[in-house]
Amino acid sequence: MRIPISWIRNFVDIDRSPEEVGEALTMLGLEVEGYEPWGDGDTILDISITPNRGDCLSVKGIARELSAYYALPLRETPLFKGEGAKHPPNIKVLNTKGCPRYIGWTFEIDINKKTPDIIAYRLDACGLRSVNIVVDITNYVLIEMGQPLHAFDLDKLSGERIIVRNAEMGESIVLIDGREVSLSNEDLVIADSEKPVAIAGIMGGIETEVSPETKRVLLESATFNYRSIRLTSKRQRIVSPSSHRFERMVGYSSPDIGARRALKLLLENDA
């Protein structure tokens, strides 16, 4: 996992060299495999995270470890504090074992708003290209907080509803990377009133992805059963940053925090 040290310092004031921070992380069981000079005096740490340390698959997770190691305070993350919409999205979870918690926020968006330079810089440092402000912020929160998010174009969801269910035999989906996948009835999917629109916790479908024409968004933030994600990922031979984290378990409170962090960033940038 690539993280610029400047991002870690955004959470905890560490007045140590990148190499000293790397040594501390190694003492904590998080091996730093390399250092790469980046930008104006920044350094990227390439950190190896073992499967049993899913709590460290985020900038905040790494910062939390260093905060404890150096006995330094950990800064709180600014979150959206408001209430949900008066007319919340129509969401139904049919498989609660596979999806213990599903949060959906709907909002209007100016998708052509420029992504802030600091967000684009940090995503670039982590190996992700800037797409648009909505996708960029969902990716940003994934790396910063460890909570996978997905943004649907609300106007492309049939019935403007979300159903979390198992796929039916014969169903298929074209993913955002262009792959067409034949689904098994053991695969958990996110569906609208007609069809699957995402493989739950793994990857969204191309038909409902946000685009330059998107006006309204449904933001998904959820927890999924790690065994279910692992089996579908293996069966379908699909690995994504989201599945990598869900396989290592995402906490029950994480979806609300992740969604509120994304909303805060969107509001700060008048999107």
CATH of the domain at 225: 3.50.40.10
209 touches 176 (CB < 8 A) = yes
- Does residue 83 fall inside a structural domain? no
Q: How far apart are CA 147 and CA 144, in angstroms?
A: 8
pLDDT at residue number 50 = 87
pLDDT at residue number 86 = 54
Are 117 and 21 in a shared domain? no
- Does residue 247 fall inside a structural domain? yes
Are 53 and 168 in a shared domain? no
pLDDT at residue number 85 = 61
Task: Please count the CA atoms within 13 angstroms of the CA of 184 that sit on its side-chain side.
Answer: 11
Are 65 and 106 in a shared domain? no
pLDDT at residue number 89 = 82
* CA nearest neighbour of 1 among 244, 170, 227, 255: 244
pLDDT at residue number 87 = 58
Are 57 and 98 in a shared domain? no
Identify the CATH number of the domain in which residue 10 sits.
3.30.56.10
Q: Which range marks the domain in which residue 224 is found?
A: 90-268
- 137-170 pLDDT per residue, tens: 999 999 999 999 999 999 999 999 999 999 999 9
Are 59 and 107 in a shared domain? no
pLDDT at residue number 52 = 87
Could you say which residues of the chain have pLDDT below 70?
84-88, 271
Residues contacting 3, CB < 8 A, separation 6+:
44, 45, 47, 59, 62, 125, 126, 143
pLDDT at residue number 269 = 83
Are 134 and 47 in a shared domain? no
What total of structural domains would you count in the chain?
A: 2
Exposure b/e, 30-67, CB count within 10 A at least 16 = b: bebeebeebeeebbbbebebeeeebbbbbbbbbbbbbb
Task: Please count the CA atoms within 13 angstroms of the CA of 163 that sit on its side-chain side.
Answer: 13
Are 53 and 133 in a shared domain? no
- Does residue 85 fall inside a structural domain? no
- 187-220 pLDDT per residue, tens: 999 999 999 999 999 999 999 999 999 999 999 9
Residues contacting 54, CB < 8 A, separation 6+:
146, 245, 247, 248, 249, 250
pLDDT at residue number 63 = 97
Q: Tokens 């940003």 identify what position?
A: 140
Are 58 and 118 in a shared domain? no
